Every structure is written in structure tokens, then in C-alpha cells.
Amino acid sequence: MSTPSKPRMSEFQTGRLQSTSERGYVEELFGKQKAYFGTDVTKTYEWRVDQLDRLVRMLKENFERFAGASCKDFKTAAQENVFEVSASIATSEFTKSQLTEWMKPVEAPLPKFLAASGHKGIVYREPYGVALIICPFNVDESANLPDAAKKIVWGAMAWGGQWCTSPGYAVVHESVAEEFVAECKKAVVELYGTDPKSNSDYSRIISAAAVERLASLIDPKKVVYGGEFDALARYLDPTILYPVTWSDKIMEDEIFGPLLPLLTYADLGTLLAKIKSLPKPLAGYVFSRNQRAIDRLLQSLSFGGGAVNQTNVFLFIESMPYGGVGTSGVGNYYGKYGYDSLTHAKSVLISPPDVTIDHLFPPYTKEKVQALDQWFEY
């Protein structure tokens, strides 16, 4: 009797898709992926490593093409388009190095009486299934202002401001606001020169429509640097706006572009209350030399992730979880955290076949009722 061969992904993926609509195409492809997942082939260590190997090989063999595509889309700085590909390779290699450990069932502690009678509690990581992938805020008065300004400006302008952890705004104490504005203007020139449009280190916006949307957020009366744009060239100046208030149009939604609104505050408690009244952000950054202020901010405010005296780059660290909270996202990814977010923790109690827990069965005597306390003794 011959052994049936394992189904190949190509049997589910490469068959001609019949639908002519975009929605129908996606639904048909999604259906094929679900059918393939249903064969259980994707659950093995060997299959997963093979997919990672293929991904790494594809990225390495086409490194220049992917980097070039990023550059074409955004006129991205060399550091940025190279990082786009390198980060994916590094993430895949890290996952390969850890996958064996992540996939191991984990034995959980049990009540003493169960463990003594030979029971075991095992948690298995079970993949949820098929995924369709379509693919911040403060400076206090004790901060190192030139350092904070340069990092915040870079965080807001790198990749053309088109990454999800860019500072959406900066709030600075009113006593140092004017000095901070001056440092931000200096930082733009230091990073991108006096003519950013001709600077290869400054990225373009993804589309002309995106430029128009961003330009509509700019209040000309509050532009202290930049503000010019060229939609056909997909260009928008690195732009700083001051003084901005919470009610300004630019504060209504995520910016996702090289615009940096600057607000001021007088009292930290009032500022924290205001930020808490807003949807929880994906990222938050605090610049300060005052550890008490840092601790107060980190303990009081809820946000996906962030940094102290730095912006954006916390998401470069593969060993730390990355994700939002509330309206900014659900769950985490990166490394083991991503593996856990995409798998269900399936708990299984394994009992020896000849062991009975007598107090579970009637008649329920006083002794059996008292025996229930054993479930809480670990």
C-alpha cells in the first residue's frame, strides 16, 4: 500500500482564480489558503522552517530589487530602503533560531494532589489559522533640548514620516517652548539641509493624493518651518507647526507624514489628564532628566510601546514585543510575542488511565466537599 503524498502549497495557491473582482479574488485566494491550512501541513516545524528559508532566500536574491522598489516609491534614503529588506531577513533568521523552543509544549503547575497522582497539565501552542495581511508625545522642562529636538524631528521626518510610530505631536513645557522650537528648526537643517527637496536622504510621500491630504492639515499661520509641497513630485517639506492647540484640525487624526505639531503645557497633571482622554496611542516618548517625571509618565499613561530620551527605534528590537493597546491595536508581535499572539494556548490535562478523582462523583459527603480545597493547593 503506497503512502499518500503530502499536499503541496502550489496545489492550493497557483490554480487559476476565477473571480474578476478584487474582492472576489481575495476571497477565493483566502479560501484556498484555508483549505491548505486544513491539511495540517503548515503545523510542522519542518514546514515552517522551509517557509522561512524560502523567504530569506527570496529576499537575499532580490535584495537590490526590493530596496530599489522602496526607493522608487518613496525616493527613500539609502539607509531606509536597505533597512526595509535587512530587517525582514534578520527577523526571519531570528525566528528560525528560536522556533524549536517556541513550539515546545509547556508543562503547567498543577494542584498538589493531581501532580501526586500522576496527572500532567500541558499547554500546546496551536496556530489560529490563516491571516490576511494588508500591509507619541512629551518633552518636559528638564530635557536636553537640542538632543530631544533632533531625535523628535528625525522620528517625525524619517521615511517621510510614514511609519506608524512617528511622533504625532510633541508637547513641551511652556517655559522652554521657544527654545525648543528654535532647536527643532536647527535640527531640520542639520538633518536635511536648506533644500530637502534635492536631498537624497529625505524621502518622498507615497502618492500625490497623500500629499494633498497632508497639505490640507497645515495651518499656514502656524508654520514655523517648511510648509511647501509639490503633489506631482510627491514632495512635502519637513514641516514644524507652532503653537498648535488640541482643537486644531491637525490634531484630529493620525498624521502619517512629515508634519510635527508642537503644543505647550503648564501643569503635568493637567497634561496627563488630557492625554488620557484621547484614544490610546501606538507609541509614546518621554524626554527628561527627571526620573520621577519619567516614572510618573510611564505609570500613568497607556500606550503600545515607546522610549525614554529616544524615538521610534524601540521597534527595531526583535526581542521586545511591539503592538498597540485599545484602538491602536490588539496583541503583540516580534519574536516569541508574535508567535504567541498568532497561536492559541490549548490547555490539556493528561490523566493516568487508572486514576479516579473520587470526590468529583456523588454521593457528595462532607469529606468529598472538603476535598475540593485541594484544587487550590499548589
203 close to 75: Cβ distance less than 8 angstroms: yes
13 close to 35: Cβ distance less than 8 angstroms: no
Burial class (CB in 10 A: 0-12, 13-18, 19+), 253: exposed
| Residue 52 is assigned to a structural domain of this protein | no
For residues 143 and 225, state if they share a domain.
yes
| Residue 21 is assigned to a structural domain of this protein | no
pLDDT for residue 1:
43
For residues 267 and 179, state if they share a domain.
yes
Range with the lowest mean pLDDT among 5-19, 145-159, 166-180, 263-277?
Answer: 5-19
For residues 150 and 123, state if they share a domain.
no
Query: Cα(74)–Cα(359) distance, rounded to whole angstroms?
Result: 68
Burial class (CB in 10 A: 0-12, 13-18, 19+), 224: middle
| Residue 56 is assigned to a structural domain of this protein | no
37 vs 249 pLDDT, higher one:
249
Give the number of other Cβ atoms within 10 Å of residue 336's Cβ.
Answer: 18
**Alpha carbon of residue 374 to chain centroid:** 43
For residues 192 and 310, state if they share a domain.
yes
Q: How many domains does the chain have?
A: 2
For residues 316 and 250, state if they share a domain.
yes
- Please give the average per-residue pLDDT across 182-206, as a whole number: 96
DSSP state of 328: G
Residues sharing a CB contact under 8 Å with residue 328, sequence separation 6 or more, in sequence order: 279, 280, 281, 282, 303, 304
**Model confidence pLDDT, tens digit, residues 84-137:** 888 889 889 999 999 999 999 889 898 998 889 888 888 888 787 776 554 455
Confidence label for 4 from pLDDT (cuts 50, 70 and 90)? very low
pLDDT for residue 135:
42
Percentage of the chain beyond pLDDT 90 is 57
Burial class (CB in 10 A: 0-12, 13-18, 19+), 196: buried
Res 217 pLDDT > 70: yes
Confidence label for 18 from pLDDT (cuts 50, 70 and 90)? low
pTM over 0.85: no
- Please give the average per-residue pLDDT across 67-96, as a whole number: 83
For residues 109 and 151, state if they share a domain.
no
Rounded to 5°, angle at Cα 348 from 343 and 354: 165
Element (H, E) at 29: helix 22-37
Which entry of 71, 135, 164, 184 is annotated as an active-site residue? 164
Query: Cα(114)–Cα(297) distance, rounded to whole angstroms?
Result: 45
For residues 116 and 143, state if they share a domain.
no
Range of the domain at 361: 105-131+342-371
For residues 367 and 218, state if they share a domain.
no
Query: Cα(155)–Cα(136) distance, rounded to whole angstroms?
Result: 10
For residues 125 and 268, state if they share a domain.
no
17 vs 156 pLDDT, higher one:
156
55 vs 25 pLDDT, higher one:
55
Query: Cα(213)–Cα(211) distance, rounded to whole angstroms?
Result: 5
**Alpha carbon of residue 124 to chain centroid:** 25
Q: What is the mean pLDDT of the chain?
A: 88
Amino acid type, 63: F
pLDDT for residue 334:
85
Q: What is the CATH number of the domain that holds 207?
A: 3.40.309.10
pLDDT for residue 16:
54
- Please give the average per-residue pLDDT across 296-310, as a whole number: 89
19 vs 75 pLDDT, higher one:
75
Query: Cα(75)–Cα(198) distance, rounded to whole angstroms?
Result: 11
**Model confidence pLDDT, tens digit, residues 321-361:** 888 888 887 888 888 888 898 889 999 999 999 999 999 99
Tell me whether residue 135 is one of the annotated catalytic residues: no
Pairing of strands 170-173, 343-350: unpaired
